[in-house]
């Protein structure tokens, strides 16, 4: 899955270059990328325009269905409650992410939606893939924001 995290990191770079929080995601089915996305909340003026949501939407379009039962969602950052919930509802098989998100993480950091026993679907979660690279990109972005460069408010 390293090669797919590389693609997610490229997507995160597109977000970074656009002044968005640098998160990228891809959806993989049978070793092929069927959806990709990067954060576009500022650009689209849409709080739901997270990398994972955009990648999931592209995957739905690929299949013409909302069920992604044999797919893997790969994100540079731990998905938030909205994105983890969308993955759950989509029946994603596995979520792989790079760095944990101590403020909004919903795959173990704050809450754990994929493993919640009350839900009828559970998702395997793999964390820490290229964690240091993801963390470095996030750190650089927020340093630039603090220094007054373009980016999140």
Which residues are known catalytic residues? 52
Which residue, chain included where needed, has tokens 């849409």?
46
Sign of the C-alpha dihedral computed for residues 111, 117, 119 and 123 taken in this order: positive
Pairing of strands 94-99, 32-38: unpaired
Other beta carbons within 10 angstroms of residue 79's beta carbon come to 31
8-state DSSP, 24: E
DSSP codes of every residue in 119-150: SS---EEE--TTHHHHHHHHHHHHHHHHTT-S
Calpha distance 52→74 (Å, rounded):
8
Sign of the C-alpha dihedral computed for residues 145, 139, 74 and 6 taken in this order: positive
């Amino acid at each position: 899955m390293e090669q797919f995290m590389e693609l997610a990191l490229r997507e995160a770079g597109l977000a970074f270059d656009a002044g968005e929080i640098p998160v990228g995601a891809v959806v993989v089915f049978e070793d092929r990328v069927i959806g990709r996305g990067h954060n576009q909340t500022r650009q689209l003026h849409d709080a739901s325009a997270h990398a994972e949501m955009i990648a999931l939407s592209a995957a739905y379009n690929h299949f013409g269905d909302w069920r992604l039962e044999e797919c893997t969602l790969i994100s540079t950052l731990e998905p938030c409650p909205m994105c983890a919930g969308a993955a759950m509802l989509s029946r994603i098989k596995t979520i792989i992410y790079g760095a944990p998100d101590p403020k909004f993480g919903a795959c173990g950091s704050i809450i754990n939606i994929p493993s919640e026993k009350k839900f009828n679907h559970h998702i395997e979660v793999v964390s820490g893939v290229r964690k240091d690279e993801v963390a470095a990109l996030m750190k650089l972005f927020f340093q630039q924001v603090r220094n007054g460069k373009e980016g999140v408010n």
